[in-house]
Amino acid sequence: MDVNENEGSLATRTKSGSDMSGRGPRLREIPLRLIVPNLVTVLAICAGLSGIRQAIDGKFTEAVLMLLIAAFLDGVDGRLARLLKASSKFGEQMDSLADIVNFGIAPALVSYIYLLNDAGTPGWIAALLYAIAAALRLARFNVMAERKRKASWQGEYFVGVPAPAGAIIVLLPVYLGFLGMQPSRGIALAASIYTVLIGFLLISRLPVWSGKSLGLNVRREFALPMMLLAVLSVALLVAYTWHVMIAGSALYIAALPLGARAWHSKYGTLVMEEDDEDDEDDDPDHPRKNRLDLDI
C-alpha cells in the first residue's frame, strides 16, 4: 500500500513538470532584440556615473563628455526600441531611472564639484534643488505619458524644459570655465542662482516647443544643403566643442520666450493651466486644449 502511494506521488510530480534534478523550471527565453535597447540604457547609466567619477578625479573635460555621451545614448535607446519593436514596461522604467541619474544627479554633482562648491552651502543647495527638480520633471512626464486621453498639443510642446536639454544648459558655467573663466566665490554664487533658475524651468508650466511637429519630408532642392549643414555642425562641434555648447545653450534659452509667445497666440495663455476636477465631464468634441492635469 505504501509502495503504491509513493509511485502515485512520483507520477503526480512528473506530470506537473517538476525538475527532479532540483534545478527548478526553465526560464522563458527572451529574444535578443528585447535586450539591446535595455543594454543601451545600461550603458547610458554607466556613462553618467563615470562622468561623476571623472569629476571627483578632477578630470572635468572627460566628465562633461561622459554626460554628453549619456545624453546621446538616451536619445538612441527609445528610438532603437521602437525600431526593433522591443518596447516594454521594464524598458520604460529603466529609461526613467537612467534619466534621473544622467540628467538630474550627474549634472548637479559635476557642476558642484567643478564650481558650485566655491559658493559653500548655497552652491550645494542649488545643486540639490536642480537634482530634485529634474526628478519631479521626469515624474510628471511619466504621468502624462501614461494617460490614455492625450491633449492635442502634446505632440508639439513640452511642459517646461525637458530634462535632457536642462542637463545640457545647466552646465553652461562649466563650459565657460573650460574657455578660461576663472572660478571665484562671486561667480560660484551667480552660477548657483543660474542652476536654481534652470531647475525652476524644468518644473514650470512654460510651453516649450518640442520640434516634433516638423514634417519628415524634405524638398529635393534642400536635401544636399541640409546634409552639408549637418556635416558642418558636426565638424564645428568636434573642433570647437565648448564654443558650440555655449552658443547652443544660449540660443536655446533665448528661444524659450518664442515658444511661449507662439502658445499664447494659439491658446491665449502664457503657461499651461491646470485641469479642473470636472474636466472629465467635458464634451469630448470640444476639449480644453490648453489644459494640463498632473494628478497631484
Q: Are 108 and 129 a contacting pair, CB within 8 Å?
A: no
Distance CA 230, CA 140 (A): 33
Per-residue pLDDT of the chain (296 residues; tens, 9 = 90+): 454 545 454 444 444 444 445 555 555 676 777 788 888 889 999 999 999 999 999 999 999 999 999 999 888 877 777 787 777 777 778 888 888 999 999 999 999 999 999 999 999 999 999 999 999 998 888 787 766 665 555 567 788 899 999 999 999 999 999 998 888 899 999 999 999 999 999 998 888 877 665 555 667 777 788 889 889 988 998 899 999 999 999 999 998 888 778 777 776 665 665 544 444 444 444 444 444 544 44
Distance CA 140, CA 202 (A): 10
Q: What is the CATH number of domain 32-146+153-210+223-265?
A: 1.20.120.1760
- Count Cβ atoms below 10 Å from residue 200 Cβ, excluding itself: 15
Residue 28 per-residue DSSP state: P
Q: Where are the domains of the chain?
A: 32-146+153-210+223-265
Its pTM surpasses 0.85: no
Distance CA 188, CA 162 (A): 25
Q: Are 152 and 287 a contacting pair, CB within 8 Å?
A: yes
Return phi, psi of residue 17, to 5°.
Answer: 85, 15
Indicate the Cα dihedral angle 254, 136, 124, 182, nearest 10°: -20
Distance CA 112, CA 119 (A): 9
